[in-house]
Structure 1
């Protein structure tokens, strides 16, 4: 970051006004007054990443709130047997790294980009200051964490009791609801999606092929899925 005639630039050319527009699109800060967003933008540091770059590792100390601006990031853990378990996939507007800012802990998971991405960093102290000074930020944070908790509980319930067929079907339906369309592009590779669902990539491929043969979905390439019969998928058990 550098200063030139009073204008703040980050390392790849954003002015503070550019970053204010960026910050205003983040749900966590969207309800702040424009002048507060502009001031906050002066504290945010965007950074570019290539695909498959690590943002942080388990056991590390993180001192910033990370906000995804472009691209996708996955968080995951490694089991004692060495298997990767994908926890969630984060896209534009999502945040991560709050674990070690709200409690004195080290990171208990890994974070890695799935594709080229831009991630904005806000120092832990600045983040805490905004939580205390602006109740709307605290409310949005609690709302987001509550949603995540519900998703985690749902995932645990699904992994524990639902059949493989139902896991795959419900994931497709949930993605369609989130995106508002039945023409889907999967947010992660089949390997990562299989890890997220607690199955092997081979099993996932078989289930998707079976759904296509039943004319419930159509497949194109490695990631494009179109839901043709949502009611049928919803009846899978």
Structure 2
């Protein structure tokens, strides 16, 4: 993991949200992120799960699905790729409300909810 930190720092510094942070904040954030692999077709999270993390897509693509309670069917929301932050909607609402599935093999950077909330408190302009 330590050898990947410089690449993650560079990725974050070019990200539209995280790139506005001071360099020390990017370094701190890069050390908190955990790389995780999601093979194509794997569910990253489900609508009925209460998440305790977000996932920043480092490589690959995913699709998000919403659930329509009227017809009890999933509705495609969007296809997302590198740099997209998944799971923040579920954290903001305090309940699972969407599903994310890996459309290709993905490397995601996982950040725990507590670290994410601390980051938002310390850098509210990123919210």
TM category (shorter chain) comes to 0.7 to 0.9
Residue 128, structure 1, aligned to residue 98, structure 2: no
C-alpha RMSD of matched pairs (Å): 1.9
**Counterparts of 2:113 and 2:33 in 1: how far apart (Å)?**
11
Answer 1 or 2: higher relative contact order, Cα 8 Å, separation at least 6: 2
User: SS at the partner of 1:129?
Assistant: helix
User: 1:205 aligns to what?
Assistant: none
1:34 match: 23
For residues 101 and 82 of structure 1, the distance between their equivalents in structure 2, rounded to whole angstroms, comes to 23
For 1:37 and 1:108, the matched residues in 2 are separated by 29
Distance 1:56 1:20, change over 3 A: same
Matches within 5 A, 1:101-140: 101-105=91-95, 107-138=96-127
Larger % of strand: which?
2
CA–CA distance in structure 1, aligned partners of residues 90 and 73 of structure 2 = 24
Q: Give the gaps of 5 or more residues in structure 1.
A: 1-8, 139-237
Number of matched pairs: 126
Residues 129-164 of structure 1 deviation map (CA, whole Å, 9 limit, x = unaligned): 1111113312xxxxxxxxxxxxxxxxxxxxxxxxxx
Q: Of residues 62, 71, 75 in structure 2, which corresponds to 1:73?
A: 62
**Higher gyration radius (CA):** 1
**1:97 lines up with 2:108 in the alignment:** no
Unpaired segments ≥5 residues, structure 2: none
TM-score normalized with structure 1 length: 0.49
Quote how far apart the aligned CAs of 1:104 are.
2.3
